[in-house]
Amino acid sequence: MREFLRNIKFVWGYAKSEKGKILIYFLLSIFNIIASIVFPILSAQIIVNLTSNMLEQFVYMGGVLLLITLVSDTIQYFRNKLYERIFREIYIKLQTDLGAEILKLNNKTLEENGSGVFIQRLIGDTRSISTIFTDLNRYINGILSNIGIIITYFVLSKAMFIFVLIAFTIRMVIEVTRINIRNKNEKEYRKNNDAMTGFIGEIVRGAEDIKMLNGEKSFLDELRNRFKRLNKERYDMQNTDMNFLLIRWYVAEICTFVMICIIAKSISAGVMTVAVGVVIFNFGGKYNSLVQNIIGFVEHIKQFNLSATRVFDIYMDKKYEKESFGCQHLDHVNGDFEFKNVSFKYGKNSVLKKASFKVNANETVAFVGKSGAGKTTIFNLLCKMYDDYTGKITIDGVDIKRLDKDSIRGNITIVSQNPYIFNMSIKDNLKLVKETLTDEEMIEACKMACLDDYIESLPDKYDTIVGEGGITLSGGQKQRLAIARAFVQKTEIILFDEATSALDNETQSKIQQAIDNLQKDYTILIIAHRLSTIKNADRILFIDEGKIIAEGKHKELLKNCRQYKELYNTEISKKDD
């Protein structure tokens, strides 16, 4: 009960803006409840009038019943329209806020849990809990509506009333047992369904690599096995329901036969008229509706609790760690930053080992080293993508753990080796980083990124939809679009992480010139395997096994750093080949 009240309070935070509509929905429900209580009583009277040959009263009561039914149907129509409006508003707010919470999760949490956990909660669970107030009203409405049937039994026959209570209790015990078993299995099923959703997402995103590796069969076998396991769990739940459904049918048929016996005995004993017997038999199975509404109410609360807890956990459970930022804000960032004895691990693997260096404002610094040396990690730590490092990182002399998010990410642009391009138009992809972007700024950025000519060749030009992950673009075009985004932002610090690796030499040379034009006005950090692209850097830092082992200009490192010279000679030999 405590969990339910907590979850109701949580959802009410999203529903209270719709409280006017919810109140009207409840008020309209009151009439339907009254109508449902009166309906079986009037129906019973109609049958009595007919069997007693009281035709005038029969027609009169039929007219009253028609009027009540028409009004009830009209009210139900408006209740359904209100239901959709209330659901829609709560659903949108819940999904939007949960999406915001997911984006607050730190990288470690996202990597450890997988996308399926969050996709199912964002889409499925939010839908389940958005209808709680209207659904509970519906079940309560159904329960109260059946009071008329119980009253009818009580008025017509005390013996039949006692029998109905006994039958009702038996049915309730059966249904509560079923719900408890199903609810236990449901938790495990949803957990595995999360994993399945994540795996399907991986197959879709990695379809191109799967094809190139000729690995379709292996992935399809794994997909088939996972589907089998998941569907077995679903079948087990359905099988439980079917087993209990059979028991419920048996109990219902036996109860109907017992009711017939009681009616026959009562009529033969003279304590019940034939007309009353007909009425009671006509309503014989109606008490089942009361059972179903009560069970539906209980089952819906359990399902609501399960969904709401899964959503609430993302907000509050310590397992889902959020990114944390400080409170200090920098109105203007110069672009100085420093790493002081910074160490970092991915799991148990040390990536950085007491790395120390300083970059001055408007300086262009390149990071060079073998794959896995820690270059990209430096960029991720500077952007505060990970927080569990030791040592100190500062921007303009301020520890980044003290800075708010805008002071860090609002002043840093990163262009990665494999940038993610969103399934929207080229223009909208650029507007993601600057909502007030003008057409002139957009075209200028794309010209600097050597992308404008290609865009102008497209039928829809800047309104061209590029597909999920930029699927309609080549690797080089994706990189150029990401570079254009960086040029649009023009933050004080710009990070290029192998940002030109997928470009041909001519295009790479043009973009390199554009990057060179930014020098002296911005702090620029570059990770590059092509050493020819960083010859003009103010400084080059050579990283080996997580440590800065050498720094200087290109010519200085050729003389003083054996590892750098080896990399450079390897590059030259590849060109000669």
**CA 300, 164, 137: angle at the middle one, nearest 5?**
25
Q: 46 and 65 in contact (C-beta within 8 Å)?
A: yes
Q: Check residues 455 and 275 and name the one with the higher pLDDT.
A: 455
pLDDT tens-digit series, residues 20-38 = 888 888 888 777 777 777 7
Express as a percent the part of the chain with pLDDT over 70.
Answer: 92
DSSP letter string over 335-402? --EEEEEEEEEETTEEEEEEEEEEE-TT-EEEEE-STTSSHHHHHHHHTTS----EEEEEETTEEGGG
- Condensed to tens digits (0 to 9), the pLDDT of residues 309-352 reads 888 888 877 777 888 888 999 888 888 889 999 998 887 788 88
Distance of alpha carbon 450 from alpha carbon 513, whole angstroms: 11
CB 450 within 8 A of CB 477: no
Residue 308 contacts by C-beta under 8 Å, 6 or more apart in sequence?
7, 10, 11, 125, 129, 132
Name the residue with higher pLDDT: 294 or 211.
294
Question: Which comes out higher in pLDDT, residue 428 or 83?
Answer: 428
Q: Give pLDDT, residue 346.
A: 80
Q: What is the pLDDT of residues 112-160, one digit of tens each?
A: 776 777 777 887 788 778 877 777 777 777 777 676 677 777 777 777 7
> What pLDDT, on a 0 to 100 scale, did the predictor assign at position 576?
46
Cα 56 to chain centroid, rounded: 62
pTM: 0.65
What's the average model confidence in pLDDT over 455-472?
Answer: 85
Beta strands in 183-311 (DSSP E): none
Contact between 198 and 119 under an 8 Å Cβ cutoff? The reply is yes
Q: Write down the pLDDT at residue 577.
A: 47
- What domains can be seen in the chain, in order of their start residue? 2-10+18-316 (1.20.1560.10), 337-411+493-576 (3.40.50.300), 425-490 (no CATH)
Q: Looking at the predicted structure, is the pLDDT value of residue 425 above 50?
A: yes
Average per-residue pLDDT in the chain? Answer: 80
Q: What are the backbone angles phi and psi of residue 544, rounded to the nearest 5°? A: -140, 120
Which residue in 140, 25, 169, 176 sits closest to 87, CA to CA? 25
In this predicted structure, what is the pLDDT of residue 204?
Answer: 67
Other C-beta atoms closer than 10 Å to the C-beta of 65 total 17
Of 315, 322, 389, 297, which Cα lies nearest the Cα of 125?
A: 315
pLDDT band at residue 561 under the 50/70/90 scheme:
confident
Tokens representing residue 142 in the block:
């159904």
Find the Cα–Cα–Cα–Cα dihedral 12, 18, 21, 27, rounded to 10°. 20
pLDDT attached to residue 209: 63
Contact 514, 544 (CB under 8 A): no
Residue with tokens 């970059």: 359
Find the mean pLDDT for residues 434-459. 87
For residue 309, what are its two tokens?
Answer: 């807890």
**Which of 213-217, 276-280, 535-539 has the lowest average pLDDT?**
213-217
Nearest-angstrom CA–CA distance, 514 and 449: 7
Cα–Cα dist 88/130, whole Å: 8
* Packed helices 216-268 and 274-282: angle between N→C axes, nearest 10 degrees: 170
The predicted structure's pLDDT at residue 502 = 60
Buried b (16+ CB within 10 A) or exposed e, 231-262: eebeeebeebeeebeebbeeebeebeeebeeb
Q: For position 392, what pLDDT does the model report?
A: 92
Residue listed under structure tokens 């003290």 = 402
H or E segment and range at residue 541 = strand 539-544
Whole-angstrom Cα distance, residue 286 to residue 142? 12
What is the tens place of the pLDDT at every residue in 363-402? 888 888 887 788 888 888 888 888 888 899 999 889 999 9
Give the model confidence (pLDDT) of 171-215 as tens digits. 888 888 887 887 777 777 877 777 777 777 777 666 666 666 666
Determine the 3-state secondary structure of 419 from DSSP: coil
**Other C-beta atoms within 10 Å of 473: how many?**
19
Phi, psi dihedrals of residue 540, rounded to the nearest 5°: -125, 130
How would DSSP label each residue in 449-510? TT-HHHHHTSTTGGG-B--GGGTTS-HHHHHHHHHHHHHHH--SEEEEESTTTTS-HHHHHH
